[in-house]
Structure 1
Amino acid sequence: MSAYEESIDLARVAAQAAADKLAEEVIGLDVSEQLAITDIFLVASGTSERQVSGIVDGIEEELLKQRRRKPLRREGERDARWVLLDYGDIVVHVQHAEDRAFYALERLWRDAPVVDLQIDSREPGSEGTGEASA
């Protein structure tokens, strides 16, 4: 059994929000076969504690705005090195790039299928213009 469509939808909204805040290496892992507690791990990284906090805030804002969802639990925000947002259906891990390389969640969950997040690669600040930047 793979992740539910609602979980995939939440992951896509969160992934786009992370990408809009210039998160690096945004990936979704379908862990529904391995874990009973969640369907998808979304992993993203930032290059500084400030960027990690900004990515987390952006994800929270978009999921509340677009899907009326608040995290059930939020951990790690004080240090902003690895922040976890638990939405039940999805668990979002936003890590500092150094911590991400050290903990290597993708390697730990390498048997989990990758979710197609369909991230729009538009340039920051070009939302809604419909024009290519010059």
Structure 2
Amino acid sequence: MPASERAVELLTAAAEAAHDKKAENVLAFDVSEQLAITDGFLVASASNDRQVRAIVDAIEEKLRIDFDAKPVRREGAREGRWVLLDYLEIVIHVQHDEERSFYALERLWRDCPTIPLPSPVPGPATSAE
């Protein structure tokens, strides 16, 4: 059974919030066939600890405001290297680039279908003049 409609909506909203904070390589996987405990994973990365935390905060705020969803577990926020947000229906991983490269979560889930996500919306162009 594929990921629930709500799980896909949560993943899409989380991806939008992550993109708003300049997250890189944002991917979503439908893990519902492989795992009984959750429907989807979102993986995103950032180049520094502060940005990881900003992405996590933006995701939490968007899911709380738009869906009244709060994570049942939040791990790694203090260090800012790999933060896990567990919403039961979905699990979100925001990693520092180095952790993303080392642990390569997308390799673990490569046999799972990906969930299409919206492309990041480019910010306003700035002039160097």
What TM-score comes out, normalization by structure 1 length? 0.90
Q: Deviations over 1:82-120 (max 9, x none)?
A: 00000010000000001000000000111110001123x
Residue deviations 1:10-45 (CA, integer Å, cap 9, x gap): 000000000000000000010000000000000000
Q: Corresponding residue for 1:130? A: none
Aligned length: 126
| % identical equivalent positions | 57
Look up the match of 1:64.
64
Q: CA deviation at 1:59?
A: 0.2
**2-side partners of 1:75 and 1:122: how far apart?**
29
CA RMSD in angstroms comes to: 1.1
Deviation at 1:78, TM superposition (A): 1.0
Query: Which stretches in structure 1 are left out of the alignment for 5+ residues?
Result: 127-132
Distance 2:14 2:43 in 1: 10
Q: Normalising to structure 2: TM-score of the pair?
A: 0.94
The answer as to 2:77 corresponding to 1:82 is no
2:123 is aligned with 1:115? no
Code of the aligned partner of 1:123: P
User: What letter is aligned with 1:63?
Assistant: L
Structure 2 unpaired stretches of 5+:
none
